Amino acid sequence: MADAAPAQESAPQEAAEAKAEAAPSEKAEGAEETAPLAPIIVKKIIDEGHGGAHGGAWKIALADMMTAMMAFFLLMWLLGATNTDQRKGIADYFKPTSLTKSAITVNNTSGSTGLMGGQSIIDETALPQAAAQTGLMQVLQPRDNTGNRDSEKDKGDLSQEEKARIASEADKANFEKLEKELKEKLSQDKDMSKLKENVVFSREKEGLRIEIIDKADFSMFGLGNTKLTPKSQGLIEEIARSLASMPNKIKVRGHTDALAFKGSERNNWSLSAERADVTRQIMTQKGVDEKRIARIEGVADTEPFVASDPLDPRNRRISITVQYRE
């Protein structure tokens, strides 16, 4: 019994020792499993050159913006430095040129006149025209003054120079018609036919000048006054009726000879101006719009009809100038 007791006491002691020996080994195994990882070092290298935000991409964007701004300011400058006609000319320069028969055939660039021969695209028989077909022919063949495509250009698209040229051509035709009409009227009228040689037509830079001149056997006004003779008044009335329907401005100018007044305050300057005004009054009474009278002038004897003889009766005259439209 005594031996059994110590054995029982040693058993727990041995178990404790075995446990103590096992504890370090378990700790060592756990230490291997939970050992900390080696630290990861990240090294950031910053390039001192032009990479990143200082690269070349922003320069391209800036260059594009500067180019656009330069084009914009150039456009603004052109709009401010040019007038409407000049801008129209610039716009017309960049419009595609229409194909016309003269532009193609004269230069021998069409298919029918080239090396390979063939049929021209502007040949009226080249393209079939169906009933509802607008076709290429309408584009290629401009229209003329009788209502064709060229004459249908909007008047708003015409420059001032083109409008002035068209108006000038129309005025020239109207002036020829007016001259012919007046000559026929004077020839057909028994009383006026004797005055045909006293009416002189001439073309000037301003327009058509109609001059009624005195002669040795005919005088429009009384000597030194502004009273018209019946024949000269009828002649002015006939001219006024022919001018009434025209839109052109009119200038009336009075002329005298070099014969001076004696013992009077009157002079040829006032006399020529008064005679021009009397002519204006007759013309407005016979249908000429007052607003069409551009001016009346008296030039005395400074513009003689016969420069070699200042006293020639032909220097006494009335000039009616029908001006070109502006």
- In the numeric block, which tokens belong to residue 317? 């005259």
Closest Cα partner for 185 from 223, 146, 234? 234
DSSP 128-170: ---TT--TTHHHHS---TTTSGGGG--GGGS-HHHHHHHHHHH
Q: Each residue of 276-297: pLDDT tens digit?
A: 999 999 999 999 999 999 999 9
DSSP run (H or E) holding 323: strand 317-323
DSSP run (H or E) holding 254: strand 250-255
Tell me which fold the domain 164-323 belongs to: 60s Ribosomal Protein L30; Chain: A; (3.30.1330)
Q: How do the pLDDT tens digits run along the chain, 326 residues long? A: 445 444 455 555 665 566 555 555 554 454 455 667 788 887 777 665 555 555 678 888 899 999 999 999 988 888 888 787 777 777 777 776 554 444 444 444 444 444 444 444 445 454 444 444 444 444 444 444 444 444 444 555 677 778 878 888 888 888 899 889 888 888 888 878 888 888 999 998 889 999 999 988 888 998 888 999 988 999 999 999 989 988 899 999 999 998 888 777 789 999 999 999 999 999 999 999 999 999 999 999 999 999 999 999 999 999 999 999 87
- Helical segments of the chain, H only: 4-33, 57-81, 84-93, 101-105, 137-140, 160-188, 230-243, 268-285
Burial code (b: 16+ CB inside 10 Å, e: under 16) for 280-308 equals: bebbbebebeeebbeebbbbbbeebbeee
Are 159 and 85 a contacting pair, CB within 8 Å? yes
